[in-house]
Amino acid sequence: MTVDLCGIELAHPVINGSGTFDVIAARRVFGAAVDENFPFAAFVSKTITLEPRLGNPPPRLFETPAGLINSIGLPNRGVAGYLEHDLPGLATLPVPLITNVMGSNADEVGQLFEALEPRGEIAAIELNVSCPNVKTGLDIGADPAELSKLLAVVRGKTSKPLIVKLTPNTANVALVASAAEASGADAVSLINTLRAFAADPRRPGKAWLGGGTGGQSGPAIRSVALAQTSAVAAAIELPIIAMGGIATAAHGRQFLDAGALIVAVGTESFRDPIAGAKVAAGLLS
Ligand SMILES: Cc1cc2nc3c(=O)[nH]c(=O)nc-3n(C[C@H](O)[C@H](O)[C@H](O)COP(=O)(O)O)c2cc1C
């Protein structure tokens, strides 16, 4: 059941959701066993930004009855730190590497693409467009016109396959997906987390999370993710990487049936680090 993702051959159709599987920490704890039984057919890095980020103040996680609200805030070393410290280790993974990046404007995204371009270890770029536009406060990827403008400037700065990771926090995700397709994306991925608020049980009206609002993931969002995957599959021809609450092969199958080429396991990997392998085994059987 090999899969061709924009010319990258994958052994099966299951990868990880960005930011939900820390392979560097897993290798520290489990050593070579991680590579020997690698659960995913490609590895997607957490989001990398141009400059280093500390992330949001704690608390950063809130468990809900059917998932998780996170407000991690994209802590990372910045692209220079990623290339120097993380890439050498990630390049030795037994699967292709997809580097996820985010910038708050076309200039930042362009610089990120240019920094990654010469690195042959990186098979593809995933562009996370769930970044607030400083002027409107809306995610850049919430507005088809804004996304088209961004991609018009940056698309030419990389020859690598470009996966646009759509935001679900938009009025019509199919219109945004169509804009990505028309502006040179090679694939789309969805869904990212849904904007959510966790009330502090001890301080009425106050936020539990240090970052204020957060993003809901896990089983609670699977039905939304399925609806958005179907809508996007009906609107575009590009390959779709679908995620959102996938915990079993049966869930994965629902997303493939809805039009996805590949599925990603996210929050479930926190509960069961080999969930990805189980989903893949179930889909292959
Ligand atoms: C703790 C946590 C961290 C995440 N970090 C990122 C990230 O850095 N970049 C990104 O594009 N998505 C990030 N996501 C979103 C996931 O990749 C995925 O799109 C989302 O969680 C839906 O899938 P799931 O319900 O299977 O987790 C994160 C999600 C979680 C729960």
Question: What is the model's pLDDT at position 193?
Answer: 96
pLDDT at 156 over 70: yes
- In the sheet with 61-64, reading across from the earlier edge strand, the strands are 61-64, 67-70, 214-217, 194-196
Burial of residue 106 (CB within 10 Å: 0-12, 13-18, 19+) is middle
Helical segments of 85-161, H only? 87-90, 106-116, 144-154
Query: How confident is the model at residue 139, as a pLDDT?
Result: 85
Q: What's the rounded mean pLDDT across residues 132-142? A: 77
Tell me what the mean pLDDT of segment 58-80 comes to: 95
Tell me the C-alpha distance between 164 and 128, whole Å: 6
pLDDT at 159 over 80: yes
How is the chain split into domains, by residue range? Answer: 3-284
| Residues annotated catalytic, as ranges | 131
Share of the chain above pLDDT 70, in %: 99
> What's residue 138's pLDDT?
77
- Give yes or no for residue 217 CB within 6 A of ligand 1: yes
pLDDT for 280 equals: 98
Beta carbon of 221 within 6 Å of any ligand 1 atom: yes
pTM value is 0.98
User: What is the Å distance from ligand 1's center to 195 Cα?
Assistant: 12
Q: 142: how many CB neighbours lie within 10 A of its CB?
A: 23
> Taking each helix axis from N to C terminus, what angle separates 173-182 and 144-154, rounded to the nearest 10 degrees?
20
Average pLDDT, integer, range 144-172: 97
* pLDDT at residue 59, rounded to an integer: 96
Q: Which residues contact 119 (CB under 8 A, 6 or more apart)?
A: 83, 87
Q: Which atom of ligand 1 has the smallest separation from the CA of 19? A: 5
Q: Is the CB of 128 under 6 A from ligand 1?
A: yes
Res 134: pLDDT: 64
**45 CB within 6 A, ligand 1:** no
Q: Give pLDDT tens digits for 165-197.
A: 999 999 999 999 999 999 999 999 999 999 999
Pocket test for ligand 1, best of 192, 224, 232, 268 (most atoms within 8 A of CB): 192
In angstroms, the first-to-last Cα distance of the chain is 10
Residue 73, pLDDT > 80, answer: yes
pLDDT bucket at 80, cuts 50 / 70 / 90: very high
- 106-119 tens-digit pLDDT: 999 999 999 999 99
Is residue 146 within 8 A of residue 103, CB to CB? The reply is: no
For residue 8, what are the β-bridge partners?
Answer: 5
Residue identifier of the C-alpha nearest atom 12 of ligand 1 = 18
- Between CA 22 and CA 167 the distance in angstroms is 22
For the cut 90, the answer to whether the pLDDT of residue 279 exceeds it is: yes
Mean pLDDT of 56-60: 95
Cβ of 18 closer than 6 Å to ligand 1, yes or no, is yes
Distance (Å) from CA 243 to ligand 1 centroid: 9
Across the range 66-75, mean pLDDT stands at: 94
Q: What is the mean pLDDT of the chain?
A: 96
Distance CA 110, CA 158 (A): 9
> How much distance in Å is there from the Cα of 215 to the middle of ligand 1?
8
Domain 3-284 CATH assignment equals 3.90.340.10: no
